[in-house]
Amino acid sequence: MPVKYPSHSTYDREVWDVLSGFWHPVARLSDLSNEPFPVKLLDVSLVIYQTEETSISIATDICPHRGAPLSKGRIERKRIICPYHGLEYDKSGQCQRVPASEPHADNCAAIKLTMVNWCEKYGLIWVNLNGKPTKPLPKWAAFEDDNYIVVDCDSELWNASAGRHTENFNDVAHLSFIHSGTFGNPNDPLIERYKVEKTDEGFDRTFTYNEIDKIDYLSDKSEVVPKIYNYRFTYPFASELEMNSPDGRVMTIYDCICPESPTTSRIFISLARNYDRDTPEKEIQKWQAAVNDEDRWVVESQLPKLLPLSPKTEKHIAADAWSLEFRDGFVRLGISRDNGI
Ligand code: FES
Ligand SMILES: [Fe+2]
């Protein structure tokens, strides 16, 4: 069932209309339990509930009786029960019981939740609000390759727009400055010219970066290694960075965003690698959290808060070639140039 543009939304209407046509990640499967789980996407509050272990349902988090949040209710008798007057809904969102009307038969058939279109992939729950996804999910090969071990990081809520975060993930000129505490090489800030290749989903590009490579997560050992960085991007906000070492080690970072509101973004990151299979997950997660902290303060401080689509609003350098294409892509999707994302 398509979800309507919420009247309280702070999104520009044309931005919301375009973004509601995509799949967005809203939660990890591992976040779910036998309690209703609230999430937010594009200013729409949703509730994920499991009436049985194998069954997932997602509805707008508004009881159709008097608008109470179902996520504050509970699951019993394979139903989600609204906390306000106890109406009970099954996995299809159909009302099955109105306690205040018993033993009189109320017309349950007329009371139904607004269910949303969802799917599961890469351990994430993805939601499409308009019921007609314009593009498929990103294709993330390492998740289906036994040579790789995948580590999921805890999601983070950033006070930044999805556009600002995505541009930061794909920005290459900041590596030697912002990331000098982890993998950035402060002595080699020059970015070689790269080509942005358009794909059906977004863009690909490749360049070499002389990274400070932390060979062993459990020690301080590191050395400069020329790594081939392959970036693959899928609209609207799913990014992949595959970092190839000359000795055959490959680490791929997957970054995708749930745009909760125009200026708040929930970040989901997974790391796949074909080496160091025995390194504890928490060491990998700690390293990625340190990288995120390096980025976060600057991205949350950028003004304007929304990434401007007009090329005239900010000044650009040669290394920004990807960023200009990224902004143009939203204009091709139907968002005005004077808007932001
Ligand atoms: S508001 Fe949900 S039962 Fe009344
Ligand atoms: Fe960064």
Asked if 247 and 159 sit in the same domain, the reply is yes
Q: How remote is the C-alpha of 123 from its chain's centroid?
A: 12
Asked if 251 and 148 sit in the same domain, the reply is yes
Residue where one domain finishes, among candidates 128, 152, 176: 128
Asked if 194 and 284 sit in the same domain, the reply is yes
Question: In the 3-class helix/strand/coil scheme, how is 206-231 assigned residue by residue?
Answer: EEEEEEEEECCCCCCCEEEEEEEEEE
Given this model, what pLDDT does residue 53 score? 82
DSSP codes of every residue in 259-281:
EEETTEEEEEEEEEESS-TTS-H
Asked if 110 and 145 sit in the same domain, the reply is no
Strand partners, 119: 126
Is the pLDDT at 106 greater than 80? The verdict is no
Asked if 162 and 17 sit in the same domain, the reply is no
Q: Which atom of ligand 1 is nearest to the CA of 70?
A: 2
Which residue's CA lies nearest to atom 3 of ligand 1? Answer: 85
Q: Which residue ranges have their beta carbon within 6 Å of ligand 1?
A: 63, 65-66, 68, 82, 84-85, 87
Rounded to the nearest integer, the mean pLDDT of the chain is: 95
* 79 Cα: distance to centroid of ligand 1 (angstroms): 14
Site to substitute for ligand 1 among 74, 79, 87, most atoms within 8 A of C-beta: 87
d(CA 316, CA 265): 25
* 17 Cα: distance to centroid of ligand 2 (angstroms): 29
Site to substitute for ligand 1 among 74, 85, 112, most atoms within 8 A of C-beta: 85
Q: Which atom of ligand 1 is nearest to the CA of 66?
A: 1
Asked if 149 and 237 sit in the same domain, the reply is yes
Location of structure tokens 């059906």: 200
Asked if 161 and 308 sit in the same domain, the reply is yes
Q: How many structural domains is the chain composed of? A: 2
298-340 pLDDT tens trace: 999 999 999 999 999 999 999 999 999 999 999 999 999 999 9
* 175 Cα: distance to centroid of ligand 2 (angstroms): 6
- 3-state SS, residue 325: helix
* 299 Cα: distance to centroid of ligand 2 (angstroms): 9
Decide if the complex's ipTM is over 0.90: yes
Domain around 320 = 141-332
d(CA 190, CA 143): 32
H helices, E strands: number in the chain: 5, 18
Asked if 302 and 160 sit in the same domain, the reply is yes
User: CATH no. for residue 301?
Assistant: 3.90.380.10
Residue 331, H or E segment: helix 321-332
* 86 Cα: distance to centroid of ligand 1 (angstroms): 6
211-221 pLDDT tens trace: 998 756 666 77
Ligand found nearest the CA of 83: 1
Mean per-residue pLDDT, 263-287: 94
**133 occurs within a structural domain:** no
Asked if 179 and 312 sit in the same domain, the reply is yes
User: CATH no. for residue 80?
Assistant: 2.102.10.10
